[in-house]
Homo-oligomer: A and B are copies of this chain.
Amino acid sequence: MNSASPCATCPKHDSGFCGAILGNSQTGSNDSSDWQNHFVVAAGRQALASQQATPDVYVLCHGWAFRFLQLPDGRRQILHFLLPGDLFSISLLFRDRVHFSVKALTPIQVSAMKRTEVQSKIMRNPATALPSLAQSCAGQTETLEKVIAALGLCSAEERIASLFLYLMKRIADQTVIRENRYPFPLRQQDIADAVGLTAVHVSRILGTFRERGIADLSNGVLEVLNIRELQRLSPLN
């Protein structure tokens, strides 16, 4: 869990988006230390600041983080949760600054790669990279638009249920789930900032979920007791 660990400890580089776009390191030099390196961010610390220019593209290798937007007056909106294997943002592939910030929920390990290198890797094989890039972009747009619908149309209960179901699916793609217990390192304040509510109200809703036997979130674990009911509460998919 310290910096400068080799890529071998970073099991997600060959899955999903990164695998398809960046390719496996079979081709080219297998000593990648010249154009990529790793670093670590403590839980609760910011990993990337809004408007900050950077020559790199980042992939989350270990831990949880989130992208967010902050208004001058301090209000904060969480845009997306980052899990291992996720690019911080596709924007960084072709832009050098972003409009959001990234914060670590747990201790995280990040791989930074030179944008120029990644670009030329992509250009070397556009026939596979381009569709994969477009697919990934379309998928991201779809999830963002579902969030918009959730915030615009749904009640507090429905929003929280949607968030749970969405994250459950993503977590299950990463980890083996036993006894319907999902690792879930979000504070109630984070949930609130993601779904546009107050922490107090999130607490109340979670309370009712508990006493209705739907789900129990405590100590960083989400235990799903009645998934049917949870799905019934979420009008979007």
Residues in A131-163 with C-beta less than 8 Å from chain B: 131, 133-135, 137-138, 140-142, 144-149, 151-153
Main secondary structure of the interface of A (DSSP, over half): helix
Residues in A151-206 with C-beta less than 8 Å from chain B: 151-153, 193-196
Q: Which chain B positions have C-beta within 8 A of A95?
A: 135, 138
Assembly of this chain: how many copies?
2
Nearest CB of chain B from residue A214's CB, rounded to whole Å: 21
Give bound CA distance, A126 to B145, whole Å: 28
Interface size of A by CB at 8 A reads: 46
Cβ 8 A contact of A77, one of B71, B79, B138, B148: B148
Q: Which chain B positions have C-beta within 8 A of A100?
A: 145
Give residues in A with beta carbon < 8 Å to B: 69, 71-73, 75-77, 79, 89-91, 93-95, 99-100, 122-123, 126-127, 129-131, 133-135, 137-138, 140-142, 144-149, 151-153, 193-196, 235-236
User: What are 18 contact pairs spanning A and B, CB under 8 A?
Assistant: A69-B148, A69-B149, A71-B153, A72-B235, A77-B148, A77-B152, A77-B153, A79-B149, A89-B138, A91-B138, A94-B131, A95-B138, A99-B145, A123-B127, A137-B141, A141-B141, A144-B148, A152-B196
